[in-house]
């Protein structure tokens, strides 16, 4: 089983290179609006907050996957050059239907050079 790297608050990291590595490989989840039972809710996943990631032939974000707990909800796959071969934030918005009373959202991203990275979980209350 591959190692899953987890986000660490970069404010607690001293070396700039380590901050860059952690931030640009970490997926960040934003839920837009209110989650209502049975309705679609947009969930945005963006790679990196402060630092951008390369989009080179041998080093790029290959995929972003969204989970609710252990249930896979959605996945997006990228090919090298999707971002114009420039450092950038890979980003995707998944529209999911809220069918439970709460969502425990976690994103995984796969970098072709540095493996799997996991977001900080985001808990979302679902209203009726």
- Listed by start position, the domains of the chain span 4-127
Please report the pLDDT score of residue 32 as a whole number: 84
- Which helix (H) or strand (E) segment holds residue 29: the answer is strand 27-31
CB 107 within 8 A of CB 120: no
Here the tokens at position 15 are: 């070396």
4-127 homologous superfamily: SOR catalytic domain (2.60.40.730)
pTM of the full predicted structure? 0.91
CB atoms inside a 10 Å sphere around CB 35 = 23
Please report the pLDDT score of residue 28 as a whole number: 97
Please report the pLDDT score of residue 9 as a whole number: 78
C-alpha distance from residue 126 to each of 12, 35, 37, 75, 100 (Å): 33, 5, 6, 22, 7
CB 12 within 8 A of CB 125: no
Sites in the chain below the pLDDT cut of 50: none
Please report the pLDDT score of residue 115 as a whole number: 94
Please report the pLDDT score of residue 66 as a whole number: 98
């Amino acid at each position: 089983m591959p190692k899953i790297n987890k986000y660490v608050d970069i404010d607690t990291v001293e070396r700039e290179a380590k901050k860059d590595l952690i931030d640009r490989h970490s997926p960040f989840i934003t839920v837009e609006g209110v989650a209502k039972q049975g309705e679609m809710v947009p969930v945005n996943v963006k790679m990196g907050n402060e630092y951008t990631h390369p989009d080179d032939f041998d080093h790029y974000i290959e995929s972003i996957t969204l989970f609710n707990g252990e249930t896979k909800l959605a996945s997006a796959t990228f090919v090298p050059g999707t971002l114009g071969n420039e450092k950038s934030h890979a980003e995707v918005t998944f529209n999911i239907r809220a069918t439970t009373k709460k969502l425990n959202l976690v994103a995984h991203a796969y970098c072709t050079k540095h493996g799997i990275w996991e977001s900080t979980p985001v808990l979302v209350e679902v209203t009726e």
